[in-house]
Amino acid sequence: MINANEPDSEIESGAALGLTLKQKEFVRLMTAEGMCQTKAAEAAGFSFPSQEASRLVRLPHVRAALHAARQAAIEGELASLGLRTMRELMTDATTPAPVRFQAAKWSIEAAGHGAAARQAAAGLPASEKALHEMSVEELEAFIQRGDAALSGLRRVGGPVIELSAPEGSAPNYAQTSAPA
């Protein structure tokens, strides 16, 4: 019979966190089996599953164990499954183009090569709002940060695309390098 009050010293991850056998089983059922907390508490052998489940998920050591188990699953099997799924979505000609595009965009962003990475590399903070949601003051601050980033690129000699558009005419795009 499982004693809910004695930690399971044989199981390293549970022992390190001070989990009882029932608590460890609760964590396993929630993470590996995907059970909701009440069903997991019932299957783990708790007498009052609904009340115990609510109490368990508030205990710091149980929360830490749930987090660790989820993280291990994400970094292990789920990461491989996710990559395989993204690859299939991007390479299957029957996948709708918008879905293939979003899969490719997510993959590029997740790898650190997307717009967010370029923005961070330019020294610009991540914008919490879309441009159309910004106030005039926020837009002015955004433009000033962009100007400062461009000035920094010019100072280090990186390529900069200059844009000039006289009123009423089409923009003139010209790539220039900073003066040597």
User: Are 7 and 88 members of one domain?
Assistant: yes
| Residue-wise pLDDT tens digits, 114-157 | 777 766 766 666 656 777 888 899 888 888 888 887 777 777 76
Per-residue tokens: 113: 């090569």
| Residue-wise pLDDT tens digits, 18-65 | 899 999 999 999 999 999 999 999 999 999 999 999 999 999 999 999
User: Are 17 and 96 members of one domain?
Assistant: yes
Picking from 52, 65, 57, 68, the residue whose alpha carbon sits closest to that of residue 14 is 65
Select the highest-mean-pLDDT range: 45-49, 72-76, 157-161, 169-173. 45-49
Considering only the C-alpha atoms of the chain, give the largest distance between any 2 of them, rounded to a whole number of Å: 84
User: Are 107 and 135 members of one domain?
Assistant: no
User: Are 109 and 140 members of one domain?
Assistant: no
Which residues span the domain enclosing 58?
1-113
Q: Is residue 124 part of a domain?
A: no
CA 54, 55, 56, 59 dihedral sign is positive
pLDDT band, residue 83 (cuts 50/70/90): confident
Q: Residue 79 above 90 pLDDT?
A: no
Which pLDDT score is estimated for 5? Answer: 43
Q: Residue 112 above 50 pLDDT?
A: yes
User: Are 49 and 91 members of one domain?
Assistant: yes
Q: Is residue 125 part of a domain?
A: no
pLDDT band, residue 110 (cuts 50/70/90): confident
User: Are 99 and 155 members of one domain?
Assistant: no
Q: Is residue 161 part of a domain?
A: yes
User: Are 7 and 79 members of one domain?
Assistant: yes
Contact status, residue 147 vs residue 170, Cβ threshold 8 Å: no
User: Are 58 and 90 members of one domain?
Assistant: yes
* Residue in the structure block whose two tokens are 């205990």: 59
Q: Is residue 107 part of a domain?
A: yes
Q: Report how many domains make up the chain.
A: 2
Record the pTM. 0.48
Q: Is residue 118 part of a domain?
A: no
